[in-house]
Amino acid sequence: MIKRKDLSGVIFSCFSAKSRVGEPFFKEHLLCYVLSREIETFDGSTYHTFKAGELFLYKRNTLGKFLKYPSNGLPYKSISFVLDRDFLMEYNVGRKSERREGNQVVKAIFPVPTDSLLTNFLHSLSVWFDETIPEALINLKKQEAVLLLLKNYPDLANVLFDYADPGKIDLEAFMNQNFKFNIAISQLAYLTGRSLATFKRDFEKKFHMSPHRWIKTRRLQEAYYLISKRGRRPNDIYIEVGFETLAHFSHAFKKHFGENPSALRIKKPGTS
């Protein structure tokens, strides 16, 4: 069973079976509080696990994968807030919350400190999702969430009130961290601070092949390493490296390497 209700950017989720929920491009900040069980997230380089009672933030203009884990007959439940740029700009009019020098958070996904005020506030929202709530009241609750966040974590102002679009960044480093994510080339271009045409031109110059071809090759190389050197099974890693189905992965792997992924074994010293 999957239950999801969105009250204008305040979202209740309930999953009674293990669920892989896409590979989203987070155009806006997403604040998530785990009510029960746990969620595993991946930001391109690091896996994070958040359990019941923990709060974390997906930073805007980042990529992420996540798995929601129910267990022992209990569903995964969470409450999330979409903190979009327009809302935050309107929130900060008159308040002028100041960004703090030298405390910029650069991680895509990171935990947020809580206290009893914040956790009680978040739990109190559970009863809202069976009611019809006026838009103005929902907006006030989102403002309350931000006030409580900044009380516990003042450095978060550096993240929430940074409204800039991505600047031009190192293409090779970005691609080597994010090749496992299935998003449009136009979104990759945006995240590297380039137009689509400039992205393609810079990519060809750096890698000497098209983005699509490089991404597929890089995924297969990673899969080969995980299977042959780390002893991982093909059906355990095909999603991890960016393929949607095991059949597509197996076909592409055999075409590229000349053998099925299931035929690989960890090579022992002295063997060929």
**Residue 149 sits in the same domain as residue 222:** no
Domain finish residue from 126, 160, 194: 160
Residue 261 has pLDDT above 60, yes or no: yes
pLDDT digits (tens, 9 = 90+) for 9-28: 999 999 988 776 566 789 99
Instruction: Give the domain CATH number at 178.
Output: 1.10.10.60
Domain of residue 250 covers: 171-263
In which residue are the tokens 């740029």 written?
Answer: 85
Check if the beta carbon of residue 212 is closer than 8 Å to that of residue 185.
yes
What does the pLDDT read at residue 23?
66
Confidence of residue 104 (pLDDT cuts 50, 70, 90): low
Domain finish residue from 131, 160, 189: 160
Burial code of 187-207, b = ≥16 C-beta within 10 A, e = fewer? ebbbbbebeeeebeebbeeeb
**Residue 179 sits in the same domain as residue 144:** no
**Residue 43 sits in the same domain as residue 130:** yes
pLDDT digits (tens, 9 = 90+) for 143-158: 999 999 999 898 899 8
pLDDT digits (tens, 9 = 90+) for 36-47: 999 999 988 888
Q: What angle do CA 209, 211, 214 make, to 5 degrees?
A: 65
**Residue 138 sits in the same domain as residue 211:** no
176 within domain boundaries: yes
**Residue 139 sits in the same domain as residue 183:** no
**Residue 185 sits in the same domain as residue 73:** no
Domain finish residue from 160, 187, 217: 160
How many domains in the chain?
Answer: 2
From the centroid of its chain, how far is CA 36? 19
Where would I find the beta strands (DSSP E) of the chain? 2-7, 10-15, 19-20, 25-26, 29-36, 38-42, 47-51, 55-58, 62-63, 65-69, 76-83, 109-112
| Residue 153 token pair | 């974590």
**Residue 49 sits in the same domain as residue 137:** yes
Q: What mean pLDDT do residues 56-83 have?
A: 92
**Residue 114 sits in the same domain as residue 76:** yes
202 within domain boundaries: yes
Q: What mean pLDDT do residues 225-252 have?
A: 94
Check if the beta carbon of residue 126 is closer than 8 Å to that of residue 12.
yes
